[in-house]
Amino acid sequence: MLNCRVCGGPVEEFLDFGQQPLANAFREVGQTDDEFFFRLAVGLCGSCTMVQLVEEVPRIRMFHDAYPYHSSGSSVMRKHFDATARHFLETELTGHDPFIVELGCNDGIMLKAVAEEGVRHLGVEPCGGVAELAKAAGVRVISEFFQDSTAAGIRAADGPADVIFAANTISHIPYMESILSGVDRLLKPDGIFVFEDPYLGDIVRRSAFDQIYDEHFYFFTARSVRAMAERHGFALVDVERLPVHGGEVRYTLARQGARHPTASVAELLAEEEELGLGRMETLRGFAANVRKNRDDLVALLTDLRAQGRTVIGYGAAAKSATVTNYCGIGPDLVAYVTDSTAAKQGRLTPGSHLPVRPPSAFSDPYPDYALLFAWNHAEEIMAKERAFHEAGGKWILWVPEVRIV
Ligand code: JHZ
Ligand code: SAH
Ligand code: ZN
């Protein structure tokens, strides 16, 4: 029996992807024989309802100086985080000499605007490559993994924080005990801990199984986050649905009794109850939908190959690792993937070994079909690539179901 990484309760598995590579471990051409694989499977805690991976990958295997994901690669995300910074500057950072800390600041996509306003801040970013980009953008960064001891060091050097923020980072950290005691140590008595991550409700509703890969250790709900907060003396005081990355929730935690919860917390909890998000039966239903999506996608691609159609992938997203490896999509079905990230170009996708090419390859010549691996950026990408569609090109999507548009 497995134990929950948050509460120690019993974890029951509901979906197994088998052996999978690390989603951001792009390979050099010719160096594909020593890949690291682990068993990717998800379970539900029968006690606190936290959905989590059953196997943990050591953090230094995933997050290192050559980490290839650069947050600022999407204009929609740049706008999103600029608005996030403005929001904090206008609401929480208005007192005397305020201080904001961001965990997993990546290339500085959010803190850049804070730095430009001259407000005291610190980014905590273990990956040296992206941390350097943040520094170049004027952001103050320490290149470390956040944990209890890091919080103690920051508190001693800089004093307590008004806001601790993290986007797409807290769900990536299995050792929650150390994170929350660190937050407790670093936060002012009336400070807030705000984090946003892919929402289990959206993943289940959309059968978005590709959100499941090594880096995404937890799949939060208001209910599981509330339980997690309360174990450490915090309360869940606000939740906000976000449209980015295929559906996320921004959770706000404050010390118990420090702030009144907004009505949105009770509303989301009620919605989750209705949807049955904390029940094994619901998650087994999700797993069945996932298997159907996989079968439909493989059938479609096999059919297109038989008809002699050309198919490529658009966006070598981390998510595409789960799709390609779970569905067995190799270069025979998808000739290459185009991606705007220089660090991914010229390499091969993990496990599936699809060559990654720069965006200029896409129109040279256009393929018949493009699998939209970065479906969370559909609006931005389809607008940018209107000429492809106008030339008769078609997009293939598998979320929420397999379809051609
Ligand atoms: P995108 C990563 O996931 C990993 P990924 C991580 N675990 C996480 O949670 C999220 O980020 C936040 C490219 N692209 O954003 C850039 C184009 O080529 O969906 C990226 O490689 N052209 C931390 O990797 C990829 O697609 C474009 O126009 O699944 C998108 O990756 C755009 C917009 C993107 O995150
Ligand atoms: N916040 C950005 C980056 C998300 S990528 C965005 O939303 O786009 C996740 C980031 O978390 C990576 O840059 C990774 O290096 C960082 N990370 C992983 N573990 C961490 C930890 N323990 N402490 C701080 N950052 C961490
Ligand atoms: Zn639990």
By three-state DSSP, how is residue 183 classified? helix
The structure tokens listed for 167 are 């986007």
CB 197 within 8 A of CB 247: no
Burial (CB count <10 Å: 0-12, 13-18, 19+), residue 44: buried
Reported as a single tens digit per residue, the pLDDT across 26-78 is 999 999 889 999 999 999 999 999 999 999 999 999 999 999 999 999 999 99
126 Cβ contact list (under 8 Å, min separation 6): 59, 63, 64, 143, 144, 145
Burial (CB count <10 Å: 0-12, 13-18, 19+), residue 342: exposed
Q: Is 67 in the pocket of ligand 2 (CB under 6 A)?
A: yes
Distance 219 CA to ligand 1 centre (A): 18
The structure tokens listed for 104 are 């997993």
Inter-CA distances, 214 with 58, 121, 311, 316, 318, Å: 10, 29, 27, 16, 9
- Mean pLDDT of all residues belonging to the chain: 98
Inter-CA distances, 341 with 196, 347, 356, 359, Å: 23, 11, 10, 9
CB 136 within 8 A of CB 70: no
Query: Which atom of ligand 1 is the closest one to the Cα of 172?
Result: 7
Reported as a single tens digit per residue, the pLDDT across 331-371 is 999 999 999 999 999 999 999 999 999 999 999 999 999 99
* Identity of the amino acid at 364: D
Distance (Å, rounded) from C-alpha 267 to C-alpha 98? 32
Over range 214-233, report the average pLDDT.
Answer: 98
Beta strand segments in 183-246, E = 187-198, 218-219, 234-242
pLDDT of residue 44: 98
Ligand at minimal distance from the CA of 318 is: 1
Residues in contact with ligand 1 (CB, 6 Å cut-off):
69, 73-74, 168, 215, 245, 315-319, 339-341, 344, 374, 376-377, 380-381, 384
Instruction: Band the pLDDT of 1: cuts 50, 70, 90.
Output: confident
* 181: phi then psi, degrees, rounded to nearest 5: -70, -30
Residue of 372 and 1 predicted with greater confidence? 372
Over range 174-188, report the average pLDDT.
Answer: 98
pLDDT of residue 181: 98
Over range 112-137, report the average pLDDT.
Answer: 98
- Going by C-alpha positions, the residue among 342, 368, 371, 369 that lies closest to residue 354 is 371
Over range 258-263, report the average pLDDT.
Answer: 98
Do β-strands 37-45 and 10-21 pair in parallel, antiparallel, or remain unpaired? Answer: antiparallel
Tell me the DSSP string of 242-301: E-GGGSEEEEEEEETTTSPPPHHHHHHHHHHHHHTTT-HHHHHHHHHHHHHHHHHHHHHH
Over range 379-393, report the average pLDDT.
Answer: 97
Kindly calculate the radius of gyration of the chain based on its CA atoms and give it in whole angstroms. Answer: 21
Biggest distance spanned by C-alpha atoms of the chain: 67
Query: Which atom of ligand 1 is the closest one to the Cα of 315?
Result: 26
The structure tokens listed for 235 are 């309360």
* 21: phi then psi, degrees, rounded to nearest 5: -85, 175
Over range 361-382, report the average pLDDT.
Answer: 97
* Identity of the amino acid at 185: R
Query: Which atom of ligand 2 is the closest one to the Cα of 59?
Result: 19
Tell whether the model's pLDDT for residue 113 goes beyond 90: yes
Distance 264 CA to ligand 1 centre (A): 29
Over range 86-100, report the average pLDDT.
Answer: 98
Ligand at minimal distance from the CA of 198 is: 1
Tell whether the model's pLDDT for residue 160 goes beyond 90: yes
Ligand at minimal distance from the CA of 141 is: 2
Rounded percentage of the chain residues whose pLDDT exceeds 90: 99
pLDDT of residue 226: 98
> Which residues hold their Cβ within 5 A of ligand 3, which is an ion?
4, 6-7, 9, 45, 47-48, 50
Distance (Å, rounded) from C-alpha 150 to C-alpha 158? 12
Ligand at minimal distance from the CA of 374 is: 1
Q: Is 130 in the pocket of ligand 2 (CB under 6 A)?
A: yes
CB 321 within 8 A of CB 23: yes
